[in-house]
Chains A and B, each alone.
Chain A
């Protein structure tokens, strides 16, 4: 069953334009000019219950506008959407009881008070039964290792600690769908990993449906199985992460450690040297023009190899390519 279903969603808005300088300011005052901006253009997709989907795209692609429509904040110009069977912009409050949201750059917690006080406020706001709330709160405290943070004012927590508390706060009312907008922005590597692990765990163990937007490819790779790319308000890719790799990865990277240093590494046909220094050589192989085993056989025949490592190019490169291709079109 689809937790989120979207069909032909479209959002246009008017933006005021003004020429530079005093003359432009006066003209805008007397005769304001607007331009139509198409933020979301005929977007359709469905997210199954329990699925974790990454919703990515460059800045201004339409991600936030789509999420704001799915949480009922914005009304679409055209199209339909249902979240947990409800039309978000018509049943915003009823839906708010069943969905959660974490915005990396907006805090839900009261800055001068310990997280526990915000948790207690949320119990009232979401009208939770006190006993059930305590059970859920203690469960999240254990899961997110929040015990030592509970009585410290939020302003004294590190960003990583704060984000763990933000995430727990968004989950107190046991939402069925969680919208995450840049949940790891600004975090260090360890804190980022902790947040990803927690989201993945909730998705797999509690069946929480996750819709994640992030510019961090690590979030996408480690949390989601499916990825949807949006650009200029349109969906330009929607499939599993595996399919994305299959479809877009036409190259492999070979890292070699040679037994002797060579002056100039002669790359075999179908490969090009990316980097060569001392005993190490990094090659990129175009697997469409030549099979990886043939390239490897050439190398082994010509050089003494101590170690070899074959990898896919980073996901970041693939996504950059998708953005560039879309921009070129």
Chain B
């Protein structure tokens, strides 16, 4: 019996509970580690106060000078809470690609390969653990400013129910992209420039600075075919429930699922090719 249990170790099929507990523990220990220097976390998140305050002033002026109630289907409170959500996500994203990049280059990756866990899932655990602290802190600070400016968030329960799975899938999609960028360190000296490009595109076409509904039609079409809009724009818009076009939660989740499958395949390919490069150059 004992031998059978030992042989099943590491198998998702035979011991799914043990595998979930394994990566769950990685999430837990990451949260504990983040809590060890919670002041740094808080200090980093204080920027949210400034950002949301500046956005509030900018948009208040815009709405007042245009003398309109809605722009691109967003009323002033809706756009401010949309920006709170967008900034919460964007500023809370852990530095996955930088970490993977440094592990590949320093050779630390080789030392983690001989442990009985998946390198990608281990990093996903670290990612979720960091998000578990960063997202609530960011939301509370940004939300505080928004509440003082425009009152309570205009989230309906059904919108929130649709936004939460979209948020989870969006964050997963971002992880896979960032992880793949970090793995490019197998071939490139520095992957920071790739990530910088990606994060800037996410800032604009991902809907972090303003909802895509406010974009010209052409740019909106470009954004629609990219996976980036599914990370910030889609969950934030679903939660606020505003915009010139209604977003279908089902279609968002489906698109996220397809993109996750696609990026996951590409990332797995990059990983297996990369690890074979460790085989070539290691030692």
Q: Which of the 9-residue segments B159-167, B170-178, B236-244, B273-281 touches chain A? A: B273-281
Query: Is there an interface contact between B29 and A113, defined as CB atoms closer than 8 Å?
Result: yes
Q: Decide if B21 is an interface residue (CB 8 Å cutoff).
A: yes
Report yes or no: A127 in contact with B282, Cβ–Cβ below 8 A.
Answer: no
Residues of B within 8 A of A (CB): 6-7, 9-10, 15, 18, 21-22, 24-26, 29, 32-33, 36-37, 108, 110-111, 113-117, 276, 278-283
Point out the residues of chain B lying under 8 angstroms from A103, CB to CB.
111
* A121-B25, A124-B22 known; A101-B283 Cβ under 8 A: no
- Kindly state whether residue A39 has any CB partner on chain B within 8 Å: yes
- Dominant secondary structure at the A interface: mixed
Q: Output the least CB separation between B23 and chain A (Å).
A: 8
Is the CB–CB distance between B282 and A97 below 8 Å?
no
Which of A67-75, A202-210, A294-302 touches B? Answer: A67-75
- For residue A17, CB closer than 8 A to chain B, the reply is no
Determine whether A241 belongs to the interface, using a CB cutoff of 8 Å to chain B: no
A113 to B35, CA, bound (A): 10
Whether B280 and A13, one on each chain, are in contact in the complex, defined by CB atoms closer than 8 angstroms, is yes
Residues of B within 8 A of A127 (CB): 9-10, 15, 18, 22, 116
Contacts of A75 in B (CB 8 A): 276, 279
A160 to B280, CA, bound (A): 35
Which of B108, B113, B281 is A13 in contact with, Cβ under 8 Å? B281
Whole-angstrom distance between the Cβ of B8 and the nearest chain A Cβ: 9
Contact B22 A125 (CB under 8 A): yes
Stretch at the interface among A88-96, A253-261, A268-276, A308-316: A88-96
Classify the secondary structure of B's interface with A: helix
Q: What's the Cα separation between A319 and B115 when bound, in Å?
A: 33
Contact B117 A110 (CB under 8 A): no
Q: Residue B36 contacts which of A11, A71, A72, A112 (CB distance < 8 angstroms)?
A: A112
Could you tell me if A73 and B278 are in contact, using CB atoms closer than 8 angstroms? yes
Complex-state Cα separation, A282 to B110, whole angstroms: 49
Expressed in whole angstroms, the Cα–Cα distance for A106 and B115 within the complex equals: 14
Given contact pairs A124-B25, A125-B117, A110 touches B33 in the complex (Cβ within 8 A): yes
What CA separation (Å) do A232 and B28 show in the bound complex?
45
Complex Cα–Cα for A106 and B111 (A): 8
Complex contacts, A74 vs chain B, CB 8 Å: 278-279, 282-283
The list of the 5 closest CB pairs from A to B, nearest first, reads A65-B283, A124-B25, A112-B36, A96-B116, A71-B114
B25 — which chain A residues lie within 8 A by C-beta?
120-121, 123-125
Q: Does A248 sit at the interface, judged by CB under 8 A?
A: no
Question: Is A35 an interface position by the 8 A CB rule?
Answer: no
B276 contacts which chain A residues (CB < 8 A)? 75
Contact indicator B116/A126 (Cβ below 8 Å): yes
- Chain B proximity of A297: nearest CB distance (Å): 54
Smallest Cβ distance from B34 to chain A, in angstroms? 9
**Given A93-B10, A121-B25: A64 and B283 interface contact (C-beta under 8 Å):** yes
Shortest distance between the CB of B33 and any CB in chain A (Å): 5
Q: Are A13 and B282 in contact (CB under 8 A)?
A: yes
CA distance A11 to B283 in the complex (A): 9
Pairwise interchain contact B282-A121, C-beta atoms closer than 8 A:
no
Question: A153 on the interface (CB 8 Å rule)?
Answer: yes
A62 contacts which chain B residues (CB < 8 A)? 283
Known: A124-B24, A126-B116. 14 other contacts (CB 8 A): A13-B281, A68-B282, A72-B113, A73-B278, A74-B278, A92-B114, A96-B114, A112-B36, A113-B32, A120-B29, A124-B21, A125-B116, A126-B9, A127-B9
